[in-house]
Amino acid sequence: MPFADALRAAVSACGLALDRIQHRLRQRGTPVSVATLSSWQSGRTRPERPGSLAALPHLEDILGIPSGGLSGLLGTPRPRGRGRREARMLPIGALKPHADRVAALLSGLDVDSDPYLIRISQHDRYEYGPGRTQLRAWNRQILRADRDGPDRWVTLFYADEPGSGVPRLRALRNCRLGRTVKDETAGMLAAELLFDRPLHCGETLIMEYELVNLVPQQPATQGSCGRTLRMITREYLLEAAFHPTALPALCEEVNEPADGGPATSRRIRLDSTGCAHALALNTGPARFGIRWTWND
């Protein structure tokens, strides 16, 4: 059965209107517009974008059909945009705990731009004080619009250290703070970073923001930092900068593929400023980070 026919039949059988299906997909962090769902039903288009492909398992679940009941009908993706559209994008919050709480946080934000922002480059710098606790995380991203209209970036933060609380988020460059929601119990923060104006298709944007910890933490013997790369990212640079009186004894780069493949690690050394860095090229979806151990 063609994909469009199967989708149309499943929608009819479940009794949900397209706007309700859209609402449920958005709650799960994989937004698809009503116009797109209608286009899929009619056969005018089919899921090909990374965000659309990530939404399919959720759509199958919402419609009450077996896993793969829709995605298995797509066949081989049609090559477009140097194969970029064949890349798989994980939903916001993927590879993290508390999926139900993530969905609750994101339900209050506009995540419609997320599937249409291509990650060209990402640079994260985490700074640690003399007490071995994280003081600040600075982030810079270079994004490219995959269509006309993306106007915001949604960031989701998890506290890496127990008891560290929810940090303060500050927009620094080419963005301003929109809606913000917190889950203090889980140590989570979700927020919209609004662009100065909607981007045109193919336009790039350099965006910077920072997270500042407000709650003192207990000294630790181990630590880690990093990011979930939800799709293939061309360049991801990660830095962990340590105070000269609290340098770790051992640092490792860790790469954990999202497809269940074996994790890899390698030892990395501090530079003369007390900073460890790791560089990932054309990596993802994966969890990529640095972990370390301090001497007692």
CATH number of the domain enclosing 165: 2.60.40
Q: Give the lowest-confidence range in 39-53, 91-105, 132-146, 266-280.
A: 91-105
How does pLDDT run across 79-108, given as a tens digit for each residue?
444 444 334 577 777 666 666 778 888 888
Q: Which two tokens stand for residue 293?
A: 């151990």
How does pLDDT run across 171-208, given as a tens digit for each residue?
999 999 999 998 887 778 899 999 999 999 999 999 99
Residue 275 has pLDDT above 90, yes or no: yes
Measure the CA–CA gap between 132 and 130, rounded to whole angstroms. Answer: 5
62 with 180, same domain: the answer is no
Range of the domain at 69: 3-86
Q: Which of 35-39, 107-111, 176-180, 292-296 has the highest mean pLDDT?
A: 176-180
Residue 48 has pLDDT above 80, yes or no: no
Q: How many domains does the chain have?
A: 2
- Where does a domain end: 65, 86, 107? 86
Asked whether residue 93 is domain-assigned, the answer is no
Q: What is the pTM of this model?
A: 0.69
Choice between 216 and 265, residue whose per-residue pLDDT is larger: 265
Average pLDDT, stretch 106-115?
A: 86
Measure the CA–CA gap between 241 and 165, rounded to whole angstroms. Answer: 21
Asked whether residue 22 is domain-assigned, the answer is yes
Average pLDDT, stretch 107-114?
A: 86
Task: State whether the Cα torsion 33-36-40-42 is positive or negative.
Answer: positive
71 with 200, same domain: the answer is no
Q: How confident is the model at residue 35 (pLDDT cuts 50, 70, 90)?
A: confident
Asked whether residue 94 is domain-assigned, the answer is no
In this prediction, residue 206 carries a pLDDT of: 97
> Distance between alpha carbon 143 and the CA centroid of its chain, in Å?
13
In this prediction, residue 85 carries a pLDDT of: 39
Residue that has been written with the tokens 């397209």 in this structure: 18
